[in-house]
Structure 1
Amino acid sequence: MCGIALIISGIRICKASSLFLESAPPASSPKAEQLVFSIDDLKAALRGRGPDSLSSKKVFLYSNTSSTVKEQEIISFIEGEEEKERDQAYLQRFEKNNKCLFGADGEAHDLENGFPKFAAELQFVGATLQLRGINPIVQPLVDISGNILLYNGEIFGGIYINSDSNDTEILLQALGKCCSSNSHLCTITDSCDDKRQSSVPGVLSAIKGPWAVIYWQESSKTLWFGRDAIGRRSLLVHWPTLEDGRFLLSSVSPVSSIEQSSGIEAENGFNKLKFWEELPCGIYSVYFGSPKSDGFIDGEVRKHEWKNAMVKELLDWERVSVEPKPEDIKVYHCKIAREQHGMHSAHSNIFPSKSGPSQASIEGPAKAVLIALKESVMRRTSLHTIFQAVTCDIRQEAHAPVAVLFSGGLDSMILAALLDECLDPSYEIDLLNVSFDGQSAPDRISAKAGVKELRRIAPLRRWNLVEINADLSKLDLETKHVMSLINPANTYMDLNIGIALWLAARGSGWVYKGNNNDIDEDLECVEYKSKARIVLVGSGADEQCAGYGRHKTKYRQGSWLGLQEEMKLDMQRIWKRNLGRDDRCIADNGKEARFPFLDEDVIRTLLNIPLWEVANLDQPSGTGDKKILREVAQLLGLYKASVLPKRAIQFGTRIARESNRKNFGSNRAANQASAGSAAIHMPSNLT
């Protein structure tokens, strides 16, 4: 799946008093006529992501206002673009069950083109990039009860999915069995639990893996929506305003919403028209109850509690042990001495094997993380039946079904080595590397060194280092497009990261033609386009393992407790600062981003390790930061990668330097203007 969207018009949306959201715009009239963009704009944005299919369905809601107030209710039926026969069946059902719409003579009253006049419309749009299941599907899915599901995600556990099934179909079946009795009113307790029936929050809470969902529960006239607790799939929300009275959900922002708001800036540089927000992680519902006396339909938004204990544990992000006791420190220093000796051995001129001497001193916590990470990569790269069926005709040819966003740094090297262990050796692996400074960018240099190390530990694998060379001065149209993808993020740092990720995921570059066991710049380069639809990304490694410079600062200021609180803050805001933006930029290329470091079991494994085993920030950069992952790299035989310092993508690719020169004139001027956090001022030639 690569994108979902919903547009609701003709309904007044309000929020329950218990619902915490960053902004609380007043309920607006459903008659608002100012529209920032059309449904066609939204479909175009989703279609641009290269889905296998794109479709939509509408639900019409209308109120039974011809009877007494006590009998008034909300009635609905579905109209699909290709389901006229189903429409007629729905109309016949309502003719039978809702006599209030029809006179004693059986003639329909107040009809328009054969259908009752509706007060509100819900339009569901789904763009499907199918990676699992035997039979192709087209979203939205509708079951026999009239429930509608849009699902952008994967189910890696919690709900059983066999290898020939599709996640969305299985989820629709599970949701279709859910209790609908007042389930929209449940926050802390759930009446469905008393009846021993599953609830919608209960089913969604059980899912392991990334997801964003929009679900119409026909029996209760309730709309459910939300995103997983970590926020690995994008879902944007627009609350009704005077500028646009509709309620909208979407995986991505259409370009037109950027165009109309780009010229409206307040004195502080931020757009006055903040059309989209990142939807905070969680499960939400909107119940459409009895119509009001004025004929309008109101919907109240509520947020629901997670029903799964493990999800609550991950949200709390409490570590088993943060501050070492004196006896822990003594053992800790002894272990550090052993590891330093092992590191010295590992970096001798003769490389040890994977079971070499350095491994003897790295056991326990690092081994547990390695096992959890390998299982995470395995879950995310298992090739299911439909994918194998699609590619079986080219399996004998060079083919790489999975790619890695590759800088040659610690995180991407670990992912590449684990992918080698999880993927059939007959497949190639694409390593996607972006540079804005040709062969001189730090990430290009480390990527070439990294490939050599990967080829040493896995000589039978065909590794394709895809060199993606870019010139920022020639990317004006691409920059405008990426601005719509990162929206509502609006800083130059977000834009720089977004452009780099977008170019990497596109996978159009050059590979060396020749011997797989070496990279010789004298060899011929040939154009290459990665066909991988699954892209592994290292997001979450720095947040969980103290990889940022600010972590060392907090450690020095507040010791272990200060470090833990800073890491916890990073994990609790990663949905807003990173993941929505990254998911949108990668998915725009018809690719699915998967984040092995953010697997639920990996997060829990790291939280069960004492903080001083995860990081040792008394040591220099490249040694103590992300200490646990450096030990994992050594276990994999990646001895050179295990000592590489952290380098952010915007600096490793050198896009930040080029952006500073383009937008501020020089790096010095950019630093004086705090360019990294500065809001974007769109050049006139891009509007």
Structure 2
Amino acid sequence: MCGIFCAISPEHNVNCQNRLHRALRKLLRNRGPDVQDELILDQGRVLLAGNVLWQQGSQKAQKQPVIAGQYGLLFNGDLYSIEKPSAMSDTTWLANKLESCDGDSDLISLLKDLKGPHCLVVYNTTTATLYFSRDTLGRNSLLIERGQQGLNLMSTSYFLEERIEGENTEPMGITLEVPPLGLYKLDINDLSQCVLYPWQPLNEYTGKLLSGLESSMQWKVLIENPISPSWLLTNNSQEDDNYDFDLYSFSFKKDFNELYNELLETESIRRTLCTLDKLLSNSVAERVQNTAPVCRNCKTMKCNHAKVSVLFSGGIDCSILALLADRFVPSEEPIELINVAFESSSTEGWNVPDRQTSLQSLMELQRLCPERDWRPLNVNVTRLELQHQLASHIKHLIYPLQTVLDESLGCAFFFATLANNSTSRVAILGSGADELFGGYVRHRNAYRRCTGDEKDRQQAVKDELELDWQRIPSRNLARDDRVIADNSKTARAPFIEENVVQFVRSLEPNQRCCFSFPEGIGDKFLLRLYGYQLGFRSAVQLKKRAIQFGSRIANKKQQASQQSDFLRFSFE
């Protein structure tokens, strides 16, 4: 994970360095503590700064920014399914490819084939053109700010409520998360318009995101032909009706063992689970094996300390990921299972719901993988510590988002990955499972409240799933990236992987969830069935519980969409 920063000024003789003030520089360095560098181009009009957390390449961290021919490159993320020497970093590989690019078509061809969570900033020194993008699924954070002095692009921001003493700092204007719609192209001599090569044709929701960007940045966006990455277009998962089944055709049985065993005797379901196992296993393997050979504390060239952690509530999502991680993490290394609890006003103390289920599922992991050193790390956060960190630090990481939900989720992930005894560089998250497999109450409500026939009900669920999927980058992923990376950990979410996403979304709603079955069974039913096949028994029966409630950082009386008092900023 890296902290990248780019400042652009349309005026000559303007020093862009004053926009990278001390407080912002510190936040960027938190994301990339291993090596830092800066580059000034075009007589000070362009500043590129990179802060690198060593994750890939077995020799040493690759400094950023990188000059690749006529291009200056800032890259943050991980690339998978590419052919490169194990000692080579993704940044070096990408720079080598970029150096041979000549014009927009070559650059688009390069981006079209990239897989993995990433964002990038590319500056063409010959044409004074700036390119920037977030990956198709919007997994990594990239913020954009527009002010009187020009434009900033960065991994994270710091809202200047007052001038920092001794520094010539001017607060920028409005800040937005860059909508992950495609490749943006900007002539730095003309900030009145921008060109977008979209990943795919825009729809109603993404069109609204683009309109918001135009309004805030005060430019007109010109839409070019879609880039259309191949994984977004091809859909061969339903070939020969290999996956032709309907979960609603099965009768519910109170003995869930009997229910699951009956379904596992169905050939098309077994094929589906076989494909899911192959794709999800590959995704987990890439995310736990591609990391530095040393933990975050050691300076030697290799150690046997934990390098991988799982944010672990004990639910079916994270339990499956932990079990799959066991297949690929070296047997001599522990796997950390991090669970966070917040001080509660009730009598339960730190024994909050997620702590209870994490211990329950830990026993299942120990039964299934007795040779693994499962290392539970229980993080306990007092209300005083929560309020202090939120008011002084975390609010800047969550910015520009400002709701109660952003506060709760952002703080939960921040404190979990802050765990003092953790040595891991990678944090595995279950993000995306609910959106893919139908895990939210609103998916069940869409089915139950529909007044039409069964076909209409399934369409209502499909529409709700699609809406959730469209919104996930702007609702969750960039925020989670900012708060987790601040603790020098890389968030990796195996469910949100191109091939996994393509396959699961090719399945119909009645093949992913079954809302004629009770809560805790029918939601994410296919995933629960997969967990049962892997050997879980208690975890597959746990009801969906949001981390903000399971950890007791929030209560259900709060309105998630309301403005958070802690995230209020003065814009005067």
Aligned equivalent of 2:362 = 451
| CA distance in structure 2 between the partners assigned to 1:160 and 1:235 by the alignment | 26
Q: Give the 3 Å change call, closer, same or farther, for CA 245–221 of structure 1 in structure 2.
A: closer
| CA distance in structure 1 between the partners assigned to 2:196 and 2:567 by the alignment | 40
TM-score (norm 1): 0.69
Is it true that 1:175 corresponds to 2:98 in the alignment? Answer: yes
Aligned equivalent of 2:202 = none
| CA distance in structure 2 between the partners assigned to 1:675 and 1:333 by the alignment | 34
| CA distance in structure 2 between the partners assigned to 1:388 and 1:40 by the alignment | 28
Is it true that 1:257 corresponds to 2:160 in the alignment? Answer: yes
- 8 Å Cα contact 2:75-2:118 kept in structure 1: yes
**1:423 Cα deviation from its structure 2 partner:** 1.2
- 8 Å Cα contact 2:293-2:303 kept in structure 1: no
Paired AA for residue 369 in structure 1: L
What is the SS of the residue equivalent to 1:156?
coil
Q: Give the 3 Å change call, closer, same or farther, for CA 495–177 of structure 1 in structure 2.
A: same
| CA distance in structure 2 between the partners assigned to 1:216 and 1:613 by the alignment | 45
Q: Give the 3 Å change call, closer, same or farther, for CA 320–482 of structure 1 in structure 2.
A: farther
**1:498 Cα deviation from its structure 2 partner:** 0.7
Q: Would you say how many aligned residue pairs link Structure 1 and Structure 2?
A: 518
The equivalent position to 1:130 in structure 2, one of 54, 62, 67, is 54
Is it true that 1:155 corresponds to 2:99 in the alignment? Answer: no
What is the SS of the residue equivalent to 1:57?
strand
- 8 Å Cα contact 1:11-1:298 kept in structure 2: no
Aligned equivalent of 1:646 = 544
What is the SS of the residue equivalent to 2:338?
strand
Is it true that 1:54 corresponds to 2:42 in the alignment? Answer: no
Paired AA for residue 36 in structure 2: L
- 8 Å Cα contact 1:441-1:652 kept in structure 2: yes
- 8 Å Cα contact 2:54-2:60 kept in structure 1: no
What is the SS of the residue equivalent to 1:424?
coil
- 8 Å Cα contact 1:433-1:465 kept in structure 2: yes
| CA distance in structure 2 between the partners assigned to 1:305 and 1:624 by the alignment | 36
Structure 1: gaps spanning 5 or more residues:
13-29, 61-117, 184-191, 193-198, 261-272, 290-296, 347-355, 509-528, 658-666
| CA distance in structure 2 between the partners assigned to 1:686 and 1:391 by the alignment | 42
- 8 Å Cα contact 2:294-2:303 kept in structure 1: no
Q: Give the 3 Å change call, closer, same or farther, for CA 258–656 of structure 1 in structure 2.
A: farther
How far does the alpha carbon of each residue in 1:92-111 deviate from its partner, in whole angstroms, 9 at most, with x for none?
xxxxxxxxxxxxxxxxxxxx
Q: CA RMSD in A?
A: 3.3
Q: Give the 3 Å change call, closer, same or farther, for CA 374–608 of structure 1 in structure 2.
A: same
| CA distance in structure 2 between the partners assigned to 1:48 and 1:384 by the alignment | 18
- 8 Å Cα contact 1:258-1:484 kept in structure 2: no
**1:2 Cα deviation from its structure 2 partner:** 2.1
Aligned equivalent of 1:81 = none
Is it true that 1:283 corresponds to 2:183 in the alignment? Answer: yes
| CA distance in structure 2 between the partners assigned to 1:587 and 1:384 by the alignment | 15
**1:300 Cα deviation from its structure 2 partner:** 3.9
How far does the alpha carbon of each residue in 1:562-592 deviate from its partner, in whole angstroms, 9 at most, with x for none?
1111111111111110001000010000000
How far does the alpha carbon of each residue in 1:455-485 deviate from its partner, in whole angstroms, 9 at most, with x for none?
0000000011100001123333310211111
| CA distance in structure 1 between the partners assigned to 2:197 and 2:262 by the alignment | 52
Is it true that 1:503 corresponds to 2:415 in the alignment? Answer: yes
- 8 Å Cα contact 1:486-1:581 kept in structure 2: yes
The equivalent position to 1:494 in structure 2, one of 381, 384, 406, is 406
How far does the alpha carbon of each residue in 1:226-278 deviate from its partner, in whole angstroms, 9 at most, with x for none?
100110000011123xxx43201111011x43668xxxxxxxxxxxx972101
The equivalent position to 2:280 in structure 1, one of 373, 384, 408, is 373
Q: Give the 3 Å change call, closer, same or farther, for CA 340–161 of structure 1 in structure 2.
A: farther
| CA distance in structure 2 between the partners assigned to 1:167 and 1:493 by the alignment | 34
The equivalent position to 1:428 in structure 2, one of 310, 334, 338, is 334
Aligned equivalent of 1:526 = none
Is it true that 1:343 corresponds to 2:257 in the alignment? Answer: yes
- 8 Å Cα contact 1:274-1:488 kept in structure 2: no
Q: Percent identical across equivalent pairs?
A: 31
Aligned equivalent of 1:562 = 460
Aligned equivalent of 1:303 = 196
Aligned equivalent of 1:615 = 513
The equivalences for 1:69-148 within 5 A come to 118=43, 121-133=45-57, 134-143=59-68, 145-148=69-72
How far does the alpha carbon of each residue in 1:595-640 deviate from its partner, in whole angstroms, 9 at most, with x for none?
1000000001102323211000111111000011101101110111
| CA distance in structure 1 between the partners assigned to 2:311 and 2:427 by the alignment | 7
What is the SS of the residue equivalent to 1:285?
strand
Aligned equivalent of 1:352 = none
Q: Give the 3 Å change call, closer, same or farther, for CA 387–162 of structure 1 in structure 2.
A: farther
The equivalent position to 2:316 in structure 1, one of 410, 414, 419, is 410
- 8 Å Cα contact 2:38-2:47 kept in structure 1: yes
- 8 Å Cα contact 1:10-1:246 kept in structure 2: yes
The equivalent position to 2:115 in structure 1, one of 204, 208, 212, is 208
- 8 Å Cα contact 1:365-1:628 kept in structure 2: no
What is the SS of the residue equivalent to 2:467?
helix
- 8 Å Cα contact 1:318-1:607 kept in structure 2: no
Is it true that 1:584 corresponds to 2:446 in the alignment? Answer: no
| CA distance in structure 2 between the partners assigned to 1:215 and 1:455 by the alignment | 47
Q: Give the 3 Å change call, closer, same or farther, for CA 239–552 of structure 1 in structure 2.
A: same
- 8 Å Cα contact 2:6-2:153 kept in structure 1: yes
| CA distance in structure 1 between the partners assigned to 2:65 and 2:3 by the alignment | 11
- 8 Å Cα contact 2:402-2:568 kept in structure 1: no
- 8 Å Cα contact 1:476-1:686 kept in structure 2: no
Q: Give the 3 Å change call, closer, same or farther, for CA 621–394 of structure 1 in structure 2.
A: farther
| CA distance in structure 1 between the partners assigned to 2:370 and 2:264 by the alignment | 21
Aligned equivalent of 1:478 = 389
The equivalences for 1:663-682 within 5 A come to 671=557, 674-682=558-566
What is the SS of the residue equivalent to 1:434?
strand
Q: Give the 3 Å change call, closer, same or farther, for CA 52–417 of structure 1 in structure 2.
A: same
| CA distance in structure 2 between the partners assigned to 1:685 and 1:146 by the alignment | 40
- 8 Å Cα contact 1:48-1:588 kept in structure 2: yes
**1:48 Cα deviation from its structure 2 partner:** 2.9
How far does the alpha carbon of each residue in 1:333-359 deviate from its partner, in whole angstroms, 9 at most, with x for none?
55456x87662488xxxxxxxxx9985
What is the SS of the residue equivalent to 2:370?
coil
Paired AA for residue 423 in structure 2: K
What is the SS of the residue equivalent to 1:3?
strand
Q: Give the 3 Å change call, closer, same or farther, for CA 499–168 of structure 1 in structure 2.
A: same
**1:386 Cα deviation from its structure 2 partner:** 5.2
- 8 Å Cα contact 1:155-1:161 kept in structure 2: no
Aligned equivalent of 2:2 = 2
Aligned equivalent of 2:444 = 552
TM-score (norm 2): 0.83
What is the SS of the residue equivalent to 2:137?
coil
What is the SS of the residue equivalent to 2:554?
helix
What is the SS of the residue equivalent to 2:270?
coil
| CA distance in structure 2 between the partners assigned to 1:499 and 1:390 by the alignment | 24
- 8 Å Cα contact 2:462-2:508 kept in structure 1: no
| CA distance in structure 1 between the partners assigned to 2:436 and 2:236 by the alignment | 12
- Shifted more, 439-448 versus 388-397: the winner is 388-397
**1:31 Cα deviation from its structure 2 partner:** 8.2
Structure 2: gaps spanning 5 or more residues:
164-171, 200-226, 344-348, 451-456
| CA distance in structure 2 between the partners assigned to 1:403 and 1:389 by the alignment | 12
How far does the alpha carbon of each residue in 1:270-309 deviate from its partner, in whole angstroms, 9 at most, with x for none?
xxx97210100121111246xxxxxxx6574211133344
Q: Give the 3 Å change call, closer, same or farther, for CA 44–613 of structure 1 in structure 2.
A: same
Paired AA for residue 652 in structure 1: G
Q: Give the 3 Å change call, closer, same or farther, for CA 220–36 of structure 1 in structure 2.
A: closer
